[in-house]
Amino acid sequence: MNGIEIFEQKIKNGCKVAILRGGLNTDNPTAIMNDAVSTYVGEKAYNEFVEIFLDNPWVRVIVGGINELDYETFKDQRL
Three-state DSSP state, 74: coil
Instruction: Decide if 4 contacts 36 (C-beta within 8 A).
Output: yes
Domain range annotation of the chain = 4-68
d(CA 58, CA 50): 10
For the chain, list residues with pLDDT below 70: none
User: What's the confidence (pLDDT) of residue 2?
Assistant: 81
User: What's the confidence (pLDDT) of residue 54?
Assistant: 73
